[in-house]
């Protein structure tokens, strides 16, 4: 049975007096049974500290953590019925793969026949049955990470915790292991919390994403919510690759009759109320090159990626990134016009960066 996770008012302060540093600032998150929650943010934002508090490796300064309704603050990690997968694999080098997977079961005095059956079930799930007699030194990075996940999965825990488990893998293996982790979660249904600084991992893996900055939860929602309706300019700029384009300006009029004016041009857009200084956010796929458009810029970079090509255009408001079809013929140094899709405007307060809904 998958567990629920309730995090309420979590603060974490390191040090005392003038040297005190507040790492987490009143974090509130509810994770439903069977959910896959991603904690994402840059280094130092507090996401790993929060994971360690859930695991019991750190104690919060304030707040509560409940697993299936039970308050676990002060409860030792061994008694929380959780399993953690680390970035460093943390395998025992002198043990075989089978012994690594079954180690936690052996420590719990699980009978050998039951233990052996569970080891083979987990190995089959992870497609590593042919590796059971090998030692970690004989495995690739992806295979070691599968063994680390197998060791955690063998315990059949209430809660899975992942601490940047793919950071040590190369790009190809990361893609493969993302798919493996997603498949594993679908099969097991175990409630999972996954920490990463990689927004691509966050978007592809999570059923919900919690975006953090400086110990503050900026937004929590589905990948689609986060991408299409970011709560502020920080979330808008952090989630998405390439980043969202930001254009500073002001609105003249509101609604369908509004005009957005900025340095070097203006656009007839559905503008928010009240009129005044705002920032317009547009994803690269929602800005279009149009040779006849009056808003102009100079192409300074063309980046083919295979399925898409990204064109960086220098304008009076700064550099803007535009996604175009891979067969688009355009060269550095050319001048081009641009238009934007009126269906995908993201408006933000010019001072606070908070989203403005129309």
Predicted pLDDT at 97: 93
Mean pLDDT of 158-169: 87
pLDDT tens readout for residues 29-75: 999 999 999 999 999 999 999 999 999 999 999 999 999 999 999 99
In this structure, are residues 34 and 192 in contact, taking their beta carbons and an 8 Å threshold?
no
> In this model, does residue 81 exceed pLDDT 70?
yes
For residue 71, the SS3 value is: strand
Predicted pLDDT at 127: 84
- Cα 328 from Cα 334, distance rounded (Å): 13
pLDDT tens readout for residues 113-153: 999 999 998 888 888 899 999 999 999 888 888 898 888 88
The residue behind tokens 């405007």 is: 345
| pTM assigned to the model | 0.88
- Cα 81 from Cα 176, distance rounded (Å): 28
Pairing type for strands 355-356 and 159-163 reads unpaired
Mean pLDDT of 192-214: 94
Domains and CATH numbers, the chain: 5-237 (3.40.50.300), 242-356 (2.40.50.140)
Q: Please give the structure tokens belonging to residue 201.
A: 């991992």
In this structure, are residues 106 and 115 in contact, taking their beta carbons and an 8 Å threshold?
yes
- Cα 153 from Cα 227, distance rounded (Å): 31
pLDDT tens readout for residues 204-238: 999 999 999 999 999 999 999 999 999 999 999 99
Give the gyration radius of the chain's Cα atoms.
Answer: 24
End-to-end CA distance of the chain: 42
pLDDT tens readout for residues 310-357: 999 999 999 999 999 988 889 999 999 999 988 899 999 999 999 998
pLDDT tens readout for residues 288-312: 999 899 999 999 999 999 889 999 9
- Cα 260 from Cα 253, distance rounded (Å): 8
> In this model, does residue 1 exceed pLDDT 70?
no
Average pLDDT value for the chain: 91
In this structure, is the dihedral angle defined by the CA atoms of residues 114, 115, 121 and 122, taken in order, positive or negative?
positive
Predicted pLDDT at 120: 92
Q: What is the dihedral of CA 54, 42, 148, 221, to 10 degrees?
A: 60
- Cα 85 from Cα 239, distance rounded (Å): 24
Predicted pLDDT at 47: 95
- Cα 225 from Cα 95, distance rounded (Å): 45
Sorting pLDDT into bands at 50, 70 and 90, what band is 195?
very high
């Amino acid at each position: 049975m998958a567990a629920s996770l309730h995090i309420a008012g979590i603060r974490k302060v390191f040090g005392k007096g003038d040297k005190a540093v507040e790492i987490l600032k009143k974090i509130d998150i509810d994770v439903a049974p069977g959910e896959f929650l991603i904690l994402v943010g840059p280094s130092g934002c507090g996401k790993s500290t929060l994971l360690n508090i859930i695991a019991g490796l750190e104690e919060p300064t304030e707040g509560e953590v409940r697993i299936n309704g039970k308050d676990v603050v002060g409860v030792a990690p061994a008694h929380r019925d959780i399993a953690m997968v680390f970035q460093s694999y943390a395998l025992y080098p002198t043990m075989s793969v089978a012994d690594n997977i079954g180690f936690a079961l052996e420590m719990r005095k699980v009978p050998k026949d039951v233990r052996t059956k569970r080891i083979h079930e987990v190995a089959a799930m992870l497609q590593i049955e042919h590796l059971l007699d090998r030692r970690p030194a004989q495995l690739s990075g992806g295979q070691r990470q599968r063994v680390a996940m197998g060791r955690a999965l063998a315990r059949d825990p209430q809660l899975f915790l992942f601490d940047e488990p793919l950071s040590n893998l190369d790009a190809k293996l990361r893609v493969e292991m993302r798919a493996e982790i997603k498949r594993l979660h679908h099969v097991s249904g175990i409630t999972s919390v996954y920490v990463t600084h990689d927004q691509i991992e966050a978007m592809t893996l999570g059923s919900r994403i919690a975006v953090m900055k400086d110990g503050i939860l900026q937004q929590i929602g589905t990948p689609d919510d986060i991408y299409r309706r970011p709560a502020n300019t920080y979330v808008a700029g952090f989630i998405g690759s390439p980043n969202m384009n930001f254009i500073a300006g002001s609105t003249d009029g509101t609604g369908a009759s509004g005009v957005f004016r900025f340095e070097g041009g203006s656009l007839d857009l559905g503008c928010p109320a009240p009129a005044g200084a705002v920032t317009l956010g547009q994803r690269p796929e929602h800005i279009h090159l149009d040779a006849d458009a009056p808003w102009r810029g100079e192409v300074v970079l063309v980046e083919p990626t295979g399925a898409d090509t990204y064109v960086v255009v220098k304008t009076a408001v700064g550099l803007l990134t535009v996604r175009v079809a891979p067969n688009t013929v355009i060269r550095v140094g050319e001048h081009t016009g641009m238009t934007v899709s009126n269906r995908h405007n993201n408006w933000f307060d010019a001072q606070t960066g908070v989203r403005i809904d129309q």
